[in-house]
Structure 1
Amino acid sequence: MAGSKDLDPSSSPRAFLGAELRHAREAAGLSQDQLGRPLFVSGSFIGQMEAGTRRMMHEYAVQIDQILGTKDFFERNCAALAKSKYPDHFAEAAEAEETATAIREHSHLLIPGLLQTKAYAAAVFRAYKPTASDAEIDEDVASRLDRTRLLDNPTSPLLWSVLDEAVLRRVVGGPAVMAEALRHVAALIRQHRIIVQVLPFGAGAHASMTGSLKLMEFDDAPPLSFVEGPNMGKLLDDPATVARHTLTFNLLQAAALSPQDSLALIESVAQDYEHGEEHS
């Protein structure tokens, strides 16, 4: 392995370091499960680090160097992964998005980050950080909009969102901002780039009453789920938990309006906002 070389942060260090981990592990004659055991993580967790879908954290890097006899290679080079433009609680999930082949998410409060407009994102961040400087808000917005580059690819990842009707009705930034934001979502739907369903108020109780949910699938790694709360988030790889979250999303899809009816509702609400009508 390239034991004496530091990683170039501009060349996808997470994927490169994962490849080096796989090479060193196989050279040591260890399976993913065998390497994971002393780290108290699953073999699939090791596989996700090797595939670049999970960031290698410093504490794991130190132990991996000890187990694999790689001196301080992983400890030194995981520093290239430590810097992120995203909040700590969301950094791993945002980085996993970049390699996902499919993203399915349920949002019960706001338009998902990948679908937000600049003005909508600015209103969201200002609500989170009422005393932040304009420069700090601008930086947050730029980072969020940078994530939307994932949709520049016309086919991958598949993005399927189930939005609670409250997402459409809550006025974020004012009617004009909402009209623009919903028109943007509608345009992506009409371009056949995303699939969106609206979960109407009339559906009553549903399978994800307590929060949002994101599921991610990958070509060469097991699926992940991500749950988030105020200033916290957790990326999960336990197969039983991911399976349960997948069932939850399937139930939400079944309770939601069809994609066609959802598009009609989104455009209708956008039109109302354009006419200055706010929804309660």
Structure 2
Amino acid sequence: MGERRSTTRSQVLGAELARIRKTAGLDAKVVAEKLGWAGSKLSRIEQGKQGVEDIELLALLTVCDALGDNMVRLLDLNRESGQDTWLHMFGKGPGGRTRALTTELQRATTIINYECSLIPGLIQTEGYIRALTTVDQDELVDQRKARQEVLRGARAPLATFLIEESALRRPIGGPAVIHDQLMHLAFLAEWKRVSIRVLPTSAGMHAGVDGSFLLLDNKERKPLVVVGIKTANVYLERREQVAKYVRSAEELVGRALSPEHSRRFIARLADDPDLAG
């Protein structure tokens, strides 16, 4: 197989193969030589830019001593890796929920996240995250906090968070937790590459009323949309699918309060005695 259009699944497959190789302690050049591949082939596969035949995938896993439980799962992922719509069912454990999304967030150059019910995951405080769970899930909390690191550093994406006023007023975790969360949002609103925009309830009917979404773009200019449900994330990469969400995002940005007005709104809400209980 030659060069192909990168998809979320091909990116996830490539990242998983790179992880397996590194876990085996093998250098990419050594693996390529053992397989008789050109020097750049393994690199393109691990980047999700080149397809791989089933027999080649099995040979790669054999060299890395990683057949076992990986074989069926990775073969299935490989056979579907060219498709541009993916219902990614969550696996067991926190890693089964986040690996694909983390891969795409790390590639992103721009992020637009609209949330209608909760504070967006990338800007949640630890207290808020814990309040959303009913059991001790330290690993899940740690993974979400680690994923938030994409917003830091010189290569951080331009991130716009569109949040419904009702989500800001929902007292998740009690007065202390929501106060800290709101103050955290006011702090993040000062960051150069983060824009937090409030959609006031008075905005009425708008393009986001049918649900939250995450719109990501990357250096390859191959945008995608992630829509989350309880048991899965849905990845949409078909051009016409993405275009609908781009139009929705544009409308929501136009209806939201300005960044400065949003920051002041959030700061005032943090000191609202009714919300503080």
Calculate the TM-score normalised by the size of structure 1.
Answer: 0.70
Partner residue, 1:180: 180
In the aligned structure 1, how far is the partner of 2:225 from the partner of 2:95? 18
Residue 89 of structure 1: CA displacement?
4.9
Structure 2 residues not aligned, in runs of 5+: 1-19, 32-36, 75-90
Partner residue, 1:259: 259
In the aligned structure 1, how far is the partner of 2:127 from the partner of 2:38? 42
In the aligned structure 1, how far is the partner of 2:204 from the partner of 2:222? 33
Q: 1:204-243 maps to which residues of 2 (within 5 A)?
A: 204-220=204-220, 222-243=222-243
Partner residue, 2:82: none
**What letter corresponds to residue 103 of structure 1 in structure 2?**
I
Instruction: Count matched residues.
Output: 227
In the aligned structure 2, how far is the partner of 1:108 from the partner of 1:97? 20
Counting aligned pairs with the same residue, the percent is: 27
Secondary structure at the aligned position of 2:113 is classed as strand
Residue 221 of structure 1: CA displacement?
5.1
Residue 65 of structure 1: CA displacement?
2.2
In the aligned structure 1, how far is the partner of 2:190 from the partner of 2:106? 23
Report whether the alignment pairs 1:50 with 2:36. no
Residue 49 of structure 1: CA displacement?
2.4
Q: 1:14-53 maps to which residues of 2 (within 5 A)?
A: 23-24=40-41, 49-50=48-49
- Preserved CA contact (<8 Å) 2:94 2:139: no
Q: Deviations over 1:225-271 (max 9, x none)?
A: 10112222111110110111111111111111111111111111111
Distance 1:149 1:85, change over 3 A: farther
In angstroms, what is the RMSD of aligned CA positions?
3.6
Partner residue, 1:40: none
Q: Deviations over 1:59-98 (max 9, x none)?
A: xx8xx324xx636245556949979974535431222101
Q: 1:24-103 maps to which residues of 2 (within 5 A)?
A: 24=41, 49-50=48-49, 64-66=52-54, 70=56, 72-74=58-60, 79=70, 86=94, 88-103=96-111
Structure with more helix by fraction: 1
Residue 203 of structure 1: CA displacement?
0.5
Deviates more, 1:211-220 or 1:153-162: 153-162
**What letter corresponds to residue 229 of structure 1 in structure 2?**
I
**What letter corresponds to residue 184 of structure 2 in structure 1?**
H
- Preserved CA contact (<8 Å) 2:224 2:235: yes
In the aligned structure 2, how far is the partner of 1:181 from the partner of 1:22? 49
- Preserved CA contact (<8 Å) 1:22 1:50: no
In the aligned structure 2, how far is the partner of 1:252 from the partner of 1:197? 9
